[in-house]
Amino acid sequence: MNEPKFVYVTYIATTPEKLWQSLTDGAFTERYWFGTRIESDWTLGSAVTFMRNDAVYDSGQVLECDPPRRLSYTWSVKSHEEFRGERPSRVTFEIETMTSPGGKKTEVKLTVTHDDFDVGSKVLAAVSGGWPVVLASLKSFLETGDALEIAGVAALKAAKERALAAARGAAA
């Protein structure tokens, strides 16, 4: 069954707790997610808000919260005109600890699944370009202390625009 979805796996030299904090604490997301501040109290059903420069641009709802293993929330994109007609999608983060020889847990495997899209979703096209940028920046932030410098937010926007244009081209 080929349901539209985006899946990304990355391995990060960090602890599950630090990774969890980076995904759920707006003070951290702001540092690697190109200015995006995520806010939620992370209880089931609670709102999740995505903010940039103190303005809310997207929102969602907590579906699952099992720290530091599994986090899932819906995502309603309002930031672009052409995304507003789509129903909320779903993002799931799975964190697996890899135990090194000797039992010291120093690496994690992060699997991000973004699904619950209709066929032809423009949001899917956009996030397929955006997630690798954000997750690479998260990995750099956790491993080196510095987020990625990809010519600032412009690169992220450009990646989204290219993906959108490709989706338009594919639909034409």
Partner 1 sequence: MSEPKFVPNTVYVTYIANTPEKVWEALTSAEFTRQYFFGGSVEIEQKVGGSFLMRMPDGRVHIKGKVVECDPPRRLAVTWDVVGMKDFSELPECLVTYDIEPMGGSVKLTMTEAHQWDIPDVILAGGRQGWPFILSSLKSVLETGKPIVMTVKMGPPREMIEAVKEAVAKKPWLR
Site for partner 1, rule CB under 8 A: 8-13, 98-101, 106-107, 109, 132-133, 136-137, 139-140, 143-144, 146, 148-152, 155
For partner 1, the closer of residues 10 and 61 by Cβ is: 10
For partner 1, the closer of residues 46 and 144 by Cβ is: 144
- For the bound state, the minimum distance from the C-beta of residue 98 to partner 1, rounded and expressed in Å, comes to 5
For partner 1, the closer of residues 85 and 145 by Cβ is: 145
- Tell me the backbone φ, ψ of residue 43, rounded to 5 degrees: -100, 155
Q: Do the Cβ atoms of 59 and 48 come closer than 8 Å?
A: yes
What's the burial of 66, exposed, middle or buried (CB within 10 Å: 0-12/13-18/19+)? exposed
The sheet carrying 47-52 orders its strands as: 6-12, 105-115, 89-99, 70-77, 55-66, 47-52, 37-39
Q: What is the dihedral of CA 165, 168, 170, 172, to 10 degrees?
A: -140
- For the bound state, the minimum distance from the C-beta of residue 112 to partner 1, rounded and expressed in Å, comes to 11
- For the bound state, the minimum distance from the C-beta of residue 134 to partner 1, rounded and expressed in Å, comes to 10
For partner 1, the closer of residues 32 and 62 by Cβ is: 32
- For the bound state, the minimum distance from the C-beta of residue 66 to partner 1, rounded and expressed in Å, comes to 22
